[in-house]
Amino acid sequence: MANGGHESPVYPSYYPHEIEIRTIAPGKAAELLRAGDLHAHVGPIPAPDPSKSIGAVESLGSLVVVRLDPDSPLAANDATACAAAESIVRDIATRADLDGFTFHPYPVTPWHGDYLNHVDRADAARRRILNGPAAPAGIRLRAGDPALRSLVRPEWLADGPRLDASLEAIDVALLVADATVAMNGWLGPRWVRSGWFHAYRALAGSAQEPGAGQMMQERVARLQAADYRDGAERINLERDVVHALELGCRTMVAGYTVKREFFNTEFSAGIENLSFDALEGFNSPMFLRTVKLKDFPWNGSLRLGVVARPDAAWNPVGGLADPFGRLAWYAMSDPAALPSPYEAAWTLNRIAEIEISPRQ
């Protein structure tokens, strides 16, 4: 027998009874956050004015890559391509003054859960680039994203039909979204959060040395079919895939950017106890399963903003690949396993293997 007071000592969950997702212009979202009319904004926006009631989380934003133009003389063969790409990346390292940019000439970053499997090669790539020769004169380079222009010598910036290379930002959250299938209580495939797979998605289209492309594809197939003896062989296969992607140098990673997302911490109009994903930030199942309203701990309305209007198919088979669709699906679905927020692994959603102590 147990006697209780006027309320239950254990609440059934912290889920809000209503989740509102609105398309809001970035500037307006900052105003609504400061006013307490928005709990969080999913996706980066300009930083709101400094305030004690505004918090921020950081996650991996994009891979910044140098892509050689196939018609440029610099891409005539692997030797000239590697010399040109490495010299451009080295020059970017000396000018890395873009806020949120980190020089990191390796496709698996410290934000990836499997980075420790690659850290030695990442360090070696950094030393090789920094100790390489200076860039040749007269390079014509286009910065696809205006925010990246500060990473390029002003005299190199060019537009038009004759280019040697381009500097591009590849959204990592989009790489995850495009490769994820969300249906029938399942989010996958299991390798979708691994750094080696993101490297494959970002760099596989570049030219490879003869035979290297086929060998890489064979290793990718083995990884996806779990065709390996143990963890050591799996890690070596992943490292081999990334190494094959680096050969040829037609596309080379120069570094990565970090994105910041903001939320309201005010009492009692804000939120707390929230989790976020190292790769996708707030647009993850774990965010909606941990965030708690301060004014109604187990009820109430959660108000979220996104920048882009919905444009994907409104069903898991046809897509749900845009930010709005993914967030809505995370709120409505109940998959068996969820992406673990800070690693490449997965965690069980509602069940766990617990050993009784003492054992019975």
Higher-pLDDT residue of 78, 259: 259
Q: What pLDDT does residue 14 have?
A: 60
356 pLDDT more than 50: yes
Say if pTM beats, i.e. exceeds, 0.85: yes
Scan for tokens 């692997």, then name that residue. 78
* The predicted structure's pLDDT at residue 188: 84
Hey, what are 261's tokens? 């997302």
Token pair for 202: 């970002």
User: How many angstroms separate the most distant Cα atoms in the chain?
Assistant: 84
Mean pLDDT of 2-22: 64
Residues 20-46 have a mean pLDDT of 91
Residue 185: pLDDT above 90? no
Residue 142 has pLDDT above 60, yes or no: yes
pLDDT at residue 9 is higher than 50: no
User: Rounded distance, CA 249 to CA 216, Å?
Assistant: 15
- CB-CB contact of 242 with 194 (8 Å): no
Contacts 24+ apart (CB under 8 A), 180-186: 180/321, 181/316, 182/316, 182/320, 182/326, 182/329, 182/333, 182/335, 183/316, 183/317, 185/333, 185/334, 185/335, 185/336, 186/335, 186/336, 186/337
Q: What are phi and psi of 75, to 5 degrees?
A: -100, 20
Neighbours of 352 (CB within 10 A): 7
Question: Average pLDDT, stretch 226-235?
Answer: 95
Cα 353 to Cα 347, 348, 356: the distances in Å are 11, 9, 10
Question: Any idea what DSSP says for residue 50?
Answer: P
Those residues whose C-beta lies under 8 Å from the C-beta of residue 68, and which sit 6 or more positions away, are 74, 75, 81, 84, 85, 164, 165, 249, 250, 251
Mean pLDDT of 140-165: 89
pLDDT-derived band at 353, boundaries 50, 70, 90 = low
Q: What is the end-to-end Cα distance of the chain in Å, rounded?
A: 24
Predicted local distance difference test score (pLDDT) of residue 60: 96
Alpha carbon of 36 to those of 20, 55, 57, 237, 302: distances in Å?
Answer: 15, 12, 18, 49, 12
For residues 127 and 51, which has the higher predicted lDDT (pLDDT)? 127
Helical spans, DSSP H, in the chain:
26-35, 78-94, 119-130, 172-179, 195-203, 212-224, 231-246, 285-290, 323-332
Angular region, 35: left φ>0, alpha ψ -120 to 50, beta rest = alpha
210/43: higher pLDDT? 43
Q: What is the pLDDT of residue 297?
A: 65
Sorting pLDDT into bands at 50, 70 and 90, what band is 11?
Answer: very low
What are the tens digits of pLDDT across the range 285-342?
999 888 989 887 666 889 999 988 888 776 666 667 788 888 888 888 888 888 888 8
- What would the mean pLDDT of 245-263 be, rounded to a whole number? 92
Is the pLDDT assigned to residue 125 strictly greater than 90? yes
Return d(Cα 177, Cα 116) in angstroms, integer: 24
State the SS3 of 263-292.
EECCCCCCEECCCCECCCECCCHHHHHHCE
Share of the chain above pLDDT 70, in %: 89
Q: Amino acid identity of 63?
A: L
Q: State whether residue 20 is helix, strand or coil.
A: strand
Q: What pLDDT does 12 receive?
A: 45
Check pLDDT > 90 for residue 137.
Answer: no
Q: Is the pLDDT of residue 89 over 90?
A: yes
Average pLDDT for 132-161: 86
Judged by average pLDDT, the poorest of 8-17, 87-96, 220-229 is: 8-17
pLDDT at residue 108, as a whole number = 97
Q: What is the pLDDT of residue 10?
A: 45
Q: Find, among 72, 11, 355, 330, the residue nearest to 185 by Cα.
A: 330
Please report how many Cα atoms fall inside a 13 Å half-sphere around the Cα of residue 109, on the Cβ side: 23
Q: Over 80: is that where the pLDDT of 2 sits? A: no
Mean pLDDT of the chain: 86
Q: Are 324 and 43 in contact (CB under 8 A)?
A: no
Residues whose CB is less than 8 angstroms from the CB of residue 199 and which lie 6 or more positions away in sequence, other chains included: 107, 108, 241, 242, 245, 253
Query: How far is Cα 37 from Cα 337, in angstroms, rounded to an integer?
Result: 33
